[in-house]
């Protein structure tokens, strides 16, 4: 039988108060023998560590419904075998000599990079922990009675209302609360949106080339067909979208995810006109539109036609990716299709949704974003300056916004794979550009290099390490 035995503590050298330990006790072969076997097994597999006090014989006998003498005999036998030790005052503990056997060697674990310059990754140490905890306390103290309950499929209405106000003010998005859906991260958002588009007969999705590989993967996994459309310094080629067979397109208009281009004004209008004329849907991934440095933020494409543009936003860059918080503003005609493919309950914690709503309503989120923009702008400037000084042949592009740069170097020197391999050998994590293309590599060699992830105190070392790499892999400055 399985018996939960309450130990008085301490456990593992620290007093924890009473704790429960499950013992698998089989009394059919003898009560004393069953107790002995269960305790031996618990000691051997580490559930009972050296120094752990056992219940008194009287307490354990009462828990198991056996005579106290049976437990006394079992304890005495285990003391004799060296599993237990009897101390002054009648206390019985797990003996120091009774150690858990050494675990078999585990598979080697890949070492974490010494320099993490992963593209698009924010500085986790800049998370507004104090403000988050303060809002959490407020929600727990004064929040709705169902703050700890399941959440409906579209998410908390409090966050819907807060996002409508914030997105209208900060991104120019036009929406009603009934159009907002909260998702468990951007992956979840695009998976649901792709399935909803399929419900309406839209199965062919145009995508930027180069573009984010996870876009392609999610659409393909959801049963969609991907059409590659080229991107240049003006963003996605809207004319190529119009002559494709696509009935939807996913774009990153505020800052193209690979080349860093902003979608040109004429192409913004052309995309919306194509959607209106063909009945297609434009899906706008505004993944880092709030992090613009060199000019005023560019308003969301959604404002041009809220009936045809489905807007997707996220807290992964502005706050932290581990929150798994994303949202979409769905055109009214698609709300039913989206709702039809949502799970019964939102995968996002009710408390997290309420906390974010509180931070938005109190403009704490705005203040955090202003601090973040200022800090990331300084990092970007330092990153570009270090490379300009140490590796002058290198070009740094696409840094008007966001958390990473496109780094390129002269053709005919080192190849992308060679530079990436050397970066890996030096413990530097960067992001390859090659996989961003749908097919064969069409552009110059390059890397996406993030300047957001290193904590503030480590920025200089990380940037210096990457600059040294590029200096070694590219030609020196000409005299």
The 3 state secondary structure assigned to 69-83 is HHHHHHHHHHHHHCC
Beta bridge partners of 271: none
What's the average model confidence in pLDDT over 188-200?
A: 95
pTM of the shown model: 0.85
Residue 471: phi, psi to the nearest 5? Answer: -65, -35
Q: Is the dihedral of CA 149, 151, 152, 158 positive or negative?
A: positive
User: Please, what is the angle between helix 129-142 and helix 350-361, to 10°?
Assistant: 110
- For 65-124, write each residue's pLDDT tens digit: 889 999 889 888 988 888 998 876 668 888 887 665 555 666 555 567 799 999 999 999
- Helix or strand (DSSP H, E) at 236: strand 235-236
Report the distance separating Cα 406 and Cα 398, nearest Å.
6
- Helix or strand (DSSP H, E) at 416: helix 416-425
User: Is 418 in a helix, a strand, or coil?
Assistant: helix
User: Is 154 in contact with 182 (CB distance < 8 Å)?
Assistant: yes
User: Is 84 in a helix, a strand, or coil?
Assistant: strand
Report the distance separating Cα 189 and Cα 247, nearest Å.
19
Q: Which two tokens stand for residue 346?
A: 């939102």
Q: How high is the pLDDT of residue 100? A: 59
- For 226-273, write each residue's pLDDT tens digit: 999 999 999 999 999 999 999 999 999 999 999 999 999 999 999 999
Dihedral, CA atoms, 457, 460, 461, 464, nearest 10 degrees?
Answer: 170
- Give the domain ranges of the chain: 2-94, 116-120+367-473, 133-363
Asked whether the bond before 10 is cis by omega within 30 degrees of 0, the reply is: yes
Architecture of domain 116-120+367-473: Alpha-Beta Complex (3.90)
Q: Does 222 or 467 have the greater pLDDT score?
A: 467
Beta bridge partners of 250: 207, 283
The closest alpha carbon to 281, from 221, 342, 329, belongs to 329
Report the distance separating Cα 358 and Cα 132, nearest Å.
9
- For 398-424, write each residue's pLDDT tens digit: 989 999 999 999 887 888 999 999 999
Res. 176 pLDDT band, cuts 50 70 90 = very high
CATH code of domain 133-363: 3.40.640.10
Q: Which two tokens stand for residue 253?
A: 């208009």
Give me the chain's average pLDDT, please: 90
Report the distance separating Cα 134 and Cα 367, nearest Å.
15
Report the distance separating Cα 225 and Cα 206, nearest Å.
8
DSSP 103: P
For the segment(s) 2-94, the CATH number from 1.10.10.10, 1.10.1840.10, 1.10.287.3510, 2.60.40.150 is 1.10.10.10
Hey, do 116-120+367-473 and 133-363 end up sharing a CATH topology, with the first three levels equal?
Answer: no
β pairing state of 180-183 and 326-329 = antiparallel
């Amino acid at each position: 039988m399985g018996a939960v035995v309450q130990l008085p503590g301490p456990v593992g050298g620290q007093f924890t108060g009473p704790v429960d330990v499950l013992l698998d006790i089989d009394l059919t072969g003898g009560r004393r023998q069953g107790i002995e076997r269960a305790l031996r097994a618990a000691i051997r597999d580490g559930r009972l560590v050296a120094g752990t006090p056992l219940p008194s014989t009287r307490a354990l006998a009462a828990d198991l419904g056996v005579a106290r003498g049976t437990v006394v005999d079992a304890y005495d036998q285990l003391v004799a075998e060296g599993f237990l030790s009897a101390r002054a005052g009648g206390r019985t503990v797990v003996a120091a000599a009774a150690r858990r056997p050494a675990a078999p060697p585990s598979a080697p674990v890949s070492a974490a990079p010494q320099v993490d310059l992963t593209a698009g990754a924010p500085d986790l140490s800049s998370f507004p922990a104090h403000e988050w905890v303060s809002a959490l306390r407020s929600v727990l103290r004064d929040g709705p009675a169902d703050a700890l309950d399941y959440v409906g499929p579209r998410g908390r209405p409090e966050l819907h209302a807060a996002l409508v106000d914030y997105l209208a003010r900060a991104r120019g998005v036009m929406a009603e609360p009934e159009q907002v859906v909260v998702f468990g991260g951007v992956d979840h958002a695009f998976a649901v949106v792709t399935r909803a588009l399929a419900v309406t007969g839209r199965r062919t999705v145009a995508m930027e080339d180069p573009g984010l590989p996870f876009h392609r993967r999610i659409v393909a996994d959801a049963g969609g067909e991907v059409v590659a459309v080229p991107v240049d310094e003006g963003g996605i080629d809207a004319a190529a979208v119009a002559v494709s067979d696509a009935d939807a397109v996913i774009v990153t208009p505020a800052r193209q995810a690979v080349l860093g281009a902003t979608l040109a004004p004429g192409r913004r209008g052309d995309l919306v006109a194509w959607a209106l004329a063909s009945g297609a849907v434009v899906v706008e991934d505004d993944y880092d539109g709030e992090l613009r440095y060199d000019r005023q933020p560019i308003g969301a494409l959604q404002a041009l036609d809220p009936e045809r543009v489905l807007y997707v936003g996220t807290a992964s860059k502005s706050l932290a990716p581990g929150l798994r918080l994303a949202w979409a503003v769905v055109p009214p005609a698609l709300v039913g299709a989206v709702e039809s493919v949502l799970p019964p309950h939102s995968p996002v914690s009710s408390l997290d949704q309420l906390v974010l709503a509180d931070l938005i309503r109190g403009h704490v989120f705005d203040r955090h974003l202003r601090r973040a923009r200022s800090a990331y702008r300084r990092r970007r400037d330092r990153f570009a300056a270090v490379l300009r000084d140490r590796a002058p042949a290198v070009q740094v592009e696409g840094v008007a916004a966001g958390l990473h740069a496109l780094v390129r170097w002269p053709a005919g020197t080192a190849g992308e794979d060679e530079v990436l391999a050397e970066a890996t050998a030096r413990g530097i994590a960067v992001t390859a550009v090659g996989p961003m293309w749908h097919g064969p590599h069409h552009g110059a060699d390059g890397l996406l290099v993030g300047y957001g992830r290193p904590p503030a105190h480590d920025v200089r070392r990380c940037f210096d390490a990457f600059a040294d790499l590029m200096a070694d892999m590219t030609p020196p400055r000409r005299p």
